[in-house]
Structure 1
Amino acid sequence: MNTKSPEWKRYQHEVAATLSQLGFTTMIEEKVAGVRGMHDVDVTARIASAGISQLWVVECKKWNRAVPKERILTFSAIVADVGADRGLMFAENGFQAGAIRASRITNLTLTSLVDFRQNTADELATMKVRGLQERITALENKFHSIWDLTQEERDKRMALYIGPSGFPEWPAGHSAVMSHLLARLSQMKEALDFARFNRWPVAYWALDDEAPITVNAWPGLLFIIEETVATCERIYDQMVTPRRQVKDWRELQSQEMTELLTKIRRPKDE
């Protein structure tokens, strides 16, 4: 950013850079279409994670005074008109009491860069957790729904199941084939709950492991669970609408996830 640019423009870029560091795709001074017309937005921030897509619209006030209520009401109308999931207003000199009251019970957040950086990482993690848990629950329901099919259709689907089917000592039969995968899905939801309540470290169970992997922080946990859920979704899709011949479920796992698990499992003395 050119240091000779106006201070307010540098502030926009600083806000956009902060959001980008959190994983958002940002645009500065984008024209956004609303129901009632076009709006010039200081910064737009978009993110898609764990099946949830979000649009945040941002207004940056590099002012020497506190932001008044009137600006909040105007901004709130823009946020509603474009259908944004959230509106953020950044101001380093604060907000008048009326402005703060006007933002209550809305999808607006009034903040400064310092406060936002401190508070938002955990909030984004919570958003991702919600999306992942919803995906896991939906997937569990899909697998369970197979039992509602006719015997012929159920046998057809089960014949296409290539996911992990438990350990050698487990009993044979349809009822046991998917039990291992469903158990892993349940354990992933439990791990997310433990992390959400700050009960670190948490245990993550890979689909083909008999012992858990210890995870100590959000980034790693969210990555491995999202990758595992995506693999399980592909296993289900292969049962319902097979697109190619797959002999082992590991073929449906991303290369990045395979490499990570290989690295984790490698003996420390290698």
Structure 2
Amino acid sequence: MTADMPEWQQYQHEVAAALSQLGFTVNVEEKIAGARGEHDVDVTARMTSAGVDQLWVVECKKLNRAVPKEHILTFSAIVADVGADRGLVFAENGFQAGAIRAARNTNLTLTSLVDFRQNAESELAVMRVRGLRERITALEDEFHSVLDLPQEERDKRMAQYVGPPSAFGLAGHSALMAPIMSRLSQMKEALDSASFNRWPVAYWELDGEIPVDVKGWAGLLFVIEETVATCERIYDQMVSPQEGIRNWRELQSQEMADLLNAICRTAAG
């Protein structure tokens, strides 16, 4: 920013900086093509979270009065036209009652810089939870789909399964995949509990016998994102096997392995 930059433009850069600090890739005054035409957007913010690409478009209103309803309706149409995941309107002098009503039950957020900085962590957590739930559901469907394959193809896939074994040594393909299906379900339950602020939340390692209590969003999202990624690699191994992979731990990131080892040492001590 420069000293001779108009206030409204300085405001755009302040908003862009706030989004950038949260890990978004931002652009100021970007043209975006929509279904009905091209739109000039004050700030765009992009991020890939939990394997899902996110686009937020931002309107910055440097006004000496509350933002009226008409501005929100116009911006809402732009958000829909470009297919943005979320639209944010920043204003430091508030919003008229009609504007607030127009944004209710939509993917619009009306905020100020101060409020956004205070609430951004929970906003991002919601986004990451949504992405994780979609990935978990997709994985459940993919593992279930193996059981519907013709016998020869099913046997071939299951011969490459390197996930956690059944604790009870049960036979059959369904029983063999039961542990990983159980963990996928438990991860969704953990996300639900955290979303309702029921802390601590129980996290189960893929072959763990005792859950770990997780007390905050940062830790929970990390372990679940890492575990989901491992489960995705287990499924990929069934479809396109890598040579020499015999155990799911070989598909786990080193960072996750180090964390779980540290937890085990702490519990043992």
**Alignment partners' CA distance in 1, 2:3 and 2:242:** 54
Question: Residues 71-92 of structure 1, C-alpha deviation per residue, up to 9 Å, x if partnerless?
Answer: 2233233223322222211110
What stretches of structure 2 of length at least 5 have no aligned partner?
Answer: none
- Note the C-alpha offset of 1:238: 0.9
| Distance in 2, Cα, partners of 1:171 & 1:180 | 11
Tell me which residue corresponds to 1:225. 224
**Counterparts in 2 of 1:58 and 1:244: CA distance versus 1, 3 Å:** same
**Conservation of the 8 A alpha-carbon contact between 2:147 and 2:173:** no
Residue in structure 2 matched with residue 25 of structure 1 by the alignment: 25
Match of 2:32, SS state, is strand
> For residues 204-253 of structure 1, what are the alpha-carbon distances to aligned partners after superposition, in whole Å with 9 as ceiling and x for unaligned?
11113211111111111111111111111111111122244312211211
Partners of 1:150 and 1:78 in 2: CA distance: 48
| Separation of aligned partners in 1, 2:176 and 2:55 | 41
Q: Report if the CA contact (8 A) 1:165-1:176 is conserved.
A: no
The 1:141/1:106 distance shift into structure 2, 3 A limit, reads closer
Code of the aligned partner of 1:148: D
Deviation at 1:4, TM superposition (A): 5.4
Greater shift after overlay, 245-254 or 34-43? 34-43
The separation in 2 between residues aligned to 1:36 and 1:187, in whole angstroms, is: 43
State how far apart, in whole Å, the 2-side matches of 1:181 and 1:269 are. Answer: 25
Aligned to 2:212: 213
Cα distance in 2 for residues equivalent to 1:77 and 1:52:
23
Structure 2 residue aligned with 1:170 = 169
Displacement of 1:35: 3.1
% same residue: 72
Q: 1:268: how far off?
A: 7.3
- Contact 1:224–1:257 (CA<8 Å) still a contact in 2? yes
Is this contact kept in 2: 1:57–1:86, CA < 8 A?
A: yes
1:75 aligns with 2:75: yes
Q: Report the Cα distance in structure 1 between the residues aligned to 2:78 and 2:143, rounded to whole angstroms.
A: 42
Q: Could you tell which deviates more after superposition, 184-193 or 140-149? A: 140-149
- For 1:182-221, what aligned pairs fall within 5 Å after superposition? 182-221=181-220
Aligned equivalent of 1:91: 91
Q: Does the CA contact (< 8 Å) of 1:47 and 1:54 recur in 2?
A: yes
CA distance in 2, matches of 1:152, 1:73: 57
Structure 2 counterparts to residues 116-265 of structure 1, below 5 A: 116-167=116-167, 169-265=168-264
TM-fit CA distance, 1:124:
2.6
Q: CA RMSD in A?
A: 2.3
Task: Answer whether contact 1:25 1:47 (CA < 8 A) is retained.
Answer: yes
Moved segments of 4+, more than 6 Å: none
Q: Give the Cα–Cα distance (whole angstroms) in 2 for the partners of residues 209 and 63 of structure 1.
A: 56
Deviation at 1:254, TM superposition (A): 1.6
Q: Which amino acid aligns with 1:164?
A: P
Counterpart-to-counterpart distance in 1, 2:10 and 2:177: 55
TM-score by length of 1: 0.89
- How far apart, in 2, do the equivalents of 1:151 and 1:36 lie? 49
Q: Determine the C-alpha separation between the residues in 1 that align with 2:267 and 2:117.
A: 36
The 10-residue stretch of structure 1 (146-155 or 246-255) with the greater mean CA deviation from structure 2: 146-155
* Bigger shift: residues 140-149 or 198-207: 140-149
Superposition deviation, residue 126 in structure 1: 2.3
SS at match of 1:266: helix
Q: Which amino acid aligns with 1:17?
A: A
